[in-house]
A and B are shown apart, each in its own frame.
Chain A
Amino acid sequence: MSDVRVSHGPRAALATRLLLVSLLVALLILAALPLYLEEFWLRVGFSIFAAVIGAIGLTILVGTTGQLSLGHAFFLAVGAISYCWLASEPSTLGSRHLGGLGLPPLLAMVLAVLISGIAGLLFSPVAARLRGIYLGIASLGLVFVGQHVLNSASPLTGGYNGRRTPDFSLFGFVFDDDNSGLKVLGVPFGRAERLWYLGLVLVVLAAWFAYGLLRSRPGRALRAVRDGEIAAAVTGIDVTGYRARAFLVSSMYAGLAGVLYALSIGSVAPESFTVEVSIQYLAIILLGGLGSVGGAMAGAVFVIGLPLLLEQYSESLPFLAEPGSGGVTSAEAAKYAYGIAVILFVLFQPRGLAGIAYALVRRRRAAALRRGDDGLPPDGGGTAPPRGERASAGGTADVDAAGAATSVPVGAPADATSGG
């Protein structure tokens, strides 16, 4: 299915390519932003980068392989805490002694990601025995039991106090405010500016890897598992193995997101990774469109960015009240907004933001078709993916990104096809 776009007519192809170009331009703009934005905005951006990576991991698991997980917060915790433990020197925080290996931060980050992956693999025997709903609640158990274990392992985690995140550094270049007076084009580059680039690079890598994965053989196998395990097994797919590997990949993404999260807030405690965090991530991928990498990004901007934005501007928004005054505060407004958005999206747009973007692109393609300069129907000409019952499954859009969508789910929203 990766070759579909090749066969489109020149105009439609150009549209796709322009999109890619605009993606590049968007990247460049993102790369230039630290020259303009204040530290607060860079911090918000870095939180979003972290969430994007975590959400991509979850969308691979839930959207692509159909394994409902409420345990994402646990894998984030494992990544975050492992990083802190691996990269810190032993120290004493408050009344507790904290262990640490003092490894170079880059190595600690890589190992933290691996440890999260192993945690995911360890859980996969449980996951292999359970489906859908049972898996959802079992993974919820992971959060509760995991939190207890992590809280008890206070030499590792700092217990309820948590522990401080060691600064990230790359071959001696520290991602923190230092007195080096580093300036780029006259702009002082401190911690926030440096971390922004770290986040950006990691997001690009994470997204690139996910796109590749989803379009490769394993990606197709994962979707086949989702759409019908028996059918998949019949075609020779190692169902249990793929489900386990999905957990591995997803928890590694979560682990990396956890490391970035730890860097963004400066200290982590097991308490930071409650079931609310899992829910937040599910909301992100649902709003973005299950299974869509681009959607995961859009969802993260909405769910993570909105509360911070509302808070920053709460004074100038007339409907928001001061915290504690009894009125609706910015934090509450953001929660209402994303709770309601989740409900509305499930009801009316189960394919999420990616589905909307996709429908728009499709309409444009259809218009191009009508003008007669495109030789092929929008979903023809390529290898049609096995669709199975996906069409009836609301919320499992097989849309990779707005414009790069290459397959057309049978049950696409009616408005998307009205133009053709």
Chain B
Amino acid sequence: MTTFVSLLVNGISQGAVYALIALGFVIIFKASEVLNFAHGSMLFVGAYVTARLVPSIGFAAAVAIGVAGTALLAVVLERLLFSRVGRGTGLASQGQVAALTIMTLGLDIVIATDLTRRIGSRVLSLDQPWGTGAFSVGGVGLSYNRLIAMGTAAVLILAFLAAFRFTGWGVALRASAEDAEAAALMGIRHWQVSALAWLVAGGLAAVAAVFLTGSPTPGLDPSIRTVAFLAFPAAIIGGLDSTTGALAGGVLVGVVQSLIAGYAEHLQFLGGDFGGAVPYVLMLAVLLARPAGLFGTRELTRV
């Protein structure tokens, strides 16, 4: 029982971080119809900038700059690159989808190659002030890093949902995602909606990166980029156009991964290290049963 609760808690805390990443991924998709495969690189940028600045200006300032820098980079990329191709005219045609997606892949290659080269074989520490400490209740242990991650994710997600519901940007984002042309006719400036979406997504990615590199993970190395490949299926499982879905998907992936790894002894028939594939197995199952995702609403063209 203790083992089960431990695994569950660990999964939820990890899933909360995935949810932050998946949320950013979904916001970008809602605002500009771009499937941002460079999201992993944004995690990377956030963590790298923070790690480099920590020794000279301290953790808090470094995180602030890391988050702001990543958010800004995301906006710049949107303005400079993606807005030039997409223009957000509703559901992009298939050719545009392919071209835009491949462009995010190209971007990901450039950023990841550069940062990997800069890091080399080192593992950089972000020196989180909460360190490697952990607390334990009734045999269930959780590192402070994961605990704080859960709290921060909850606050950020609530704040986002409030903004999504009550601010002008939130309304505009929802309207644009629903019907970009109608929204434009009603005076919603699509480019503002889109730029702000990228800003928020970049910031969320950088925040997630701070926790991903904390205990019990040893620090920042290039493998951080691969975490994004867990957040993509999380977003799809929830429904690519659903913010609630991103949260559910993120937590679900975290918990299932943790349980699979924890009970690997009894799951030998699934093969070793099934944890890496399980988000995609879940995703394919969901897609077959409900192509729009658990919480998604978008109707797909069927013939």
Contact = CB atoms under 8 A, between A and B. Distances in A.
Touch test A–B (CB under 8 Å): yes
Interface of A: 62, 66-68, 125-126, 129-134, 136-138, 140-141, 144-145, 147-149, 151-152, 226, 229-230, 233, 239-240, 275, 279, 282-283, 286, 290, 324, 326, 328-329, 332, 335-336, 338-343, 346-347, 350, 389-390, 392-396
Contacts of A324: 120
Contacts of A226: 94-95
Given A144-B276, A144-B277, A152-B271, A342 B97 contact: no
Contacts of A286: 98-99, 102
A326 B270 CA distance: 41
Main secondary structure of the interface of A (DSSP, over half): helix
Interface in B128-157: none
Interface in B258-303: 270-274, 276-277, 279-281, 283-284, 287-288, 291, 300-301, 303
A332 B112 CA distance: 10
A59 to B, nearest CB: 11
B102 A66 contact: no
Given A140-B232, A145-B280, A347 B101 contact: no
Contacts of A350: 85, 99
A295 B271 CA distance: 40
B233 A141 contact: yes
18 contacts: A126-B284, A126-B287, A133-B35, A134-B300, A136-B35, A141-B233, A144-B229, A144-B276, A147-B277, A151-B272, A226-B94, A239-B303, A332-B113, A336-B114, A339-B106, A392-B96, A394-B96, A395-B99
B280 A140 contact: yes
A144 B101 contact: no
B238 to A, nearest CB: 12
B23 interface: no
What 7 pairs across the A-B complex have the smallest Cβ distances?
Answer: A152-B271, A393-B95, A342-B106, A66-B94, A396-B95, A148-B277, A339-B109
B100 interface: yes
Contact of B291 (A134, A148, A328, A346): A134
Contacts of B280: 140-141, 144-145
Contacts of A326: 117, 120
A138 B117 contact: no
A345 B225 CA distance: 25
Given A342-B106, A343-B81, A129 B93 contact: no
Given A133-B35, A136-B97, A152-B271, 13 more contacts: A66-B95, A68-B101, A133-B97, A134-B236, A137-B283, A148-B277, A230-B303, A290-B95, A335-B113, A339-B110, A343-B81, A343-B107, A395-B102
B240 interface: yes
A148 B105 contact: no
Interface in B76-101: 81, 84-85, 92-101
Contacts of B277: 144-145, 147-149
Nearest to B77: A343
A332 B95 contact: no
Given A66-B95, A148-B277, A229 B233 contact: no
A343 B93 CA distance: 19
Contacts of B229: 140, 144, 275
A133 B291 contact: no
A341 B103 CA distance: 10
Nearest to A146: B277
A296 B88 CA distance: 29
B106 A137 contact: no
B78 to A, nearest CB: 13
